[in-house]
Amino acid sequence: MTYVHTTIPAHRRRPATHRALVVCTALVAAATIAAGCSQTSSVSIDEFAADQSPTLPALPAISPITCDRSSAEPGETVTRDAGGHDTPIDAVAAYHHAVITTRDPSQVAAAVAPGQSMGSPALIEAAFDGFPAGTTYCLRMRQTDATTVLATLDYQPPAAPPAQYKVRATTTGAAGQIRLTGEVDQ
């Protein structure tokens, strides 16, 4: 059985019509600005630009998600380490580290078994979109059989509240070559 992974949690997914609404809103705003900057405008572009402050407001500070290994229950792994390919838990950690921390498409693809859709450029980009740069996280994982890991991902994007989602990850391969085949919401 093949699982398709979308790293964007279900509660954060937006319908396709949302993109159309955003594009339409942007076009209306651009037209309004263009109309306001016509030659009949009483303020010139130079005057307008001179009044602008060069500083941007600071983003609110956040505390990173804590990831305390000592909080693991028996049989559980708590980490945000880079992972690897030795065990199914390492493979899940490698995927999430590549998506959230390194944000490197080649590392994400290396964490996924060949031929799996979650390693496609479009789904890798969607995974990056689900976790903005600067997101902190912690994985709490439990291996339930030779190829399956149940994972709870606590994460916090910059200037946003903490969030959580749970997935069931499946893997394939021999020790040292274990890769993800998919993740589905629990």
Q: Which domains, from first to last, does the chain contain?
A: 73-185 (3.10.450.50)
Q: What pLDDT score was predicted for residue 25?
A: 42
Q: What pLDDT score was predicted for residue 171?
A: 96
The amino acid occupying position 84 is G
d(CA 93, CA 102): 12
Q: What pLDDT score was predicted for residue 46?
A: 57
Q: What is Dmax (Cα atoms) for the chain?
A: 73
Among 56, 129, 133, 137, CA closest to 96: 137
Q: What pLDDT score was predicted for residue 24?
A: 41
Q: What pLDDT score was predicted for residue 160?
A: 87
Neighbours of 136 (CB within 10 A): 20
Q: What pLDDT score was predicted for residue 26?
A: 42
Full pLDDT tens readout for the chain, 186 residues: 444 445 555 445 554 444 444 444 444 344 444 444 444 445 555 554 555 545 555 444 457 788 889 998 999 999 999 999 999 999 999 999 999 999 999 999 999 999 999 999 999 999 999 999 999 999 999 999 999 999 999 999 988 899 999 999 999 999 999 999 999 988
